[in-house]
Amino acid sequence: MRKGFTLIELMVVVVVIGVITALSIYGFTHFLPNYTFQQCLGGFTRFYYREVHRFMGSDTDQWIFEIDPGRDECYSDSLNAPVYRDTFRFSDYGVDVQSTGSVFIRVNKDGSVVAPDSFTVVKSANGKTFSRTITINKLGEVSIK
């Protein structure tokens, strides 16, 4: 009696491992775009609230939160000197910005917003399109739908 595996048994194992690997790669490549899109939305929300808290502790009465659809970025700008500017780039995540309203959102020192606004972010990959509308309401809260 021989010990070990036959050539057919080894080939079956290699084929099974190949099928499992192919399915894993397919699943991963379809999972990744949605994951990066969700990371982008979370990153934007953290950026916005970080800027709100930064300006609440400053002597600035109002500051501007600017969405730039042409460059797929958003900025925070102080209205008083010294000028402070920080940037969040949607393009780092492969996401496009489509503004549906004003590109300037004026935020008061207490975090409330002068005029609420919303804009849409879109990511297309692997034949799928992911789209969400980000709204900043009068109280300065961010909602994503």
Compute the chain's Rg from CA coordinates.
24
pLDDT tens-digit readout, 35-91: 999 999 999 999 999 888 888 877 777 788 888 877 788 878 777 655 667 888 998
Per-residue pLDDT at 101: 67
**Residue 104: which residues within 8 A CB-CB, separation 6 or more?**
64, 65, 66
Domain segments of the chain: what residues?
A: 7-144
> Cβ distance 135 to 116 under 8 Å?
yes
Coil, strand, or helix at residue 14?
Answer: helix
Per-residue pLDDT at 81: 54
Q: For residue 1, what are its two tokens?
A: 């009696």
**Residue 103: which residues within 8 A CB-CB, separation 6 or more?**
66, 67, 68, 69
Per-residue pLDDT at 72: 83
Distances (CA, A) of 75 to 65, 88, 106, 115: 6, 6, 12, 17
Per-residue pLDDT at 58: 74
Per-residue pLDDT at 14: 96
Just give the CATH number of 7-144.
Answer: 3.55.40
